[in-house]
Structure 1
Amino acid sequence: MPKKNKKTVAKEHNPKEESSAISLDKSNNIIIQVLAKPGAKQNGITGITVEGVGIQINAPPSEGEANTELVKYVASVLGLRKSDVIFERGFKSRSKILKITGNITLDEVVKKIADEVATA
């Protein structure tokens, strides 16, 4: 029996799988896995995948400018203060993890990020 090529096998769309980039930690804080794209023309969320939330940032990836802009942008999308969005990991990487400590639910975060993708 021939092996199935992974590229040709159709994958069912599963919205719950997409939101695995946005989850809760043990302390019930919301964790967002981010795939950052610095140096873009404007800030925006490009999509949600299993690997993370794609976010393009209008700042160069030098001296932490893109990281600062990322926190500011995510806070504005979620309607939170900058202090409610904490940089957990990935300061020098494009794969980052943000922790949301503000007064917002996981469902609200997923909805606001999905709405931002739809308007892009």
Structure 2
Amino acid sequence: MNYDPPNFAEDVEDGCTLRVRVHPGARRNDIAGLHAGAVKISISAPPADGRANQALIELLAELLHVPRARISLVSGATGRSKVLRITGKSAAEVQAALFPIQSC
């Protein structure tokens, strides 16, 4: 069976972009899977005063092992669908970090 990797991350100059679908106010911060070509991410912070966006950036920085300053919100500041730019990481590196292949 052929497996085509999802297209939620795309290479751009000096890094990549990442499409996410955020579920704020969740019980815990977690990668919840894929949703309509984006990474579905649960965030415990409420969607008020940019707290969910900040928590999203902090979670991704931790998972990708990059400083928060290397992750910026490109679009979707007030919506659930967002695009982030990650400097210094390729799309393949981001995909591998968010969805590692688990050995049997």
TM-score normalized by the length of structure 1: 0.76
2:20 is aligned to 34
Output one character per residue of 1:3-58: Cα deviation in whole Å (capped at 9) or x when no partner. Answer: xxxxxxxxx87432x1x111113x24210000000001110001134520000001
1:87 is aligned to 73
Q: Which has the higher contact order (CA 8 A, sep 6+)?
A: 2
- 1:67 is aligned, of 48, 53, 69, to 53
1:21 is aligned to 8
Is the counterpart of residue 43 in structure 1 residue 43 in structure 2?
A: no
In terms of fraction of residues, the more helix-rich structure is 1
2:78 corresponds to which letter in structure 1? Answer: K
SS in 2 for 1:91: coil
2:93 is aligned to 108
Deviation at residue 68 of structure 1 after TM alignment = 0.5
SS in 2 for 1:36: strand
Deviation at residue 109 of structure 1 after TM alignment = 1.1
SS in 2 for 1:63: coil
Q: CA RMSD in A?
A: 2.0
Query: Aligned residues, how many?
Result: 102
TM-score normalized by the length of structure 2: 0.87
CA distance in 1, matches of 2:2, 2:36: 11
% same residue:
28
1:15 corresponds to which letter in structure 2? Answer: D
CA distance in 1, matches of 2:11, 2:61: 17
In structure 2, stretches of 5+ residues that fail to align are none
- Which entry has the higher C-alpha Rg, 1 or 2? 1
Deviation at residue 82 of structure 1 after TM alignment = 0.3
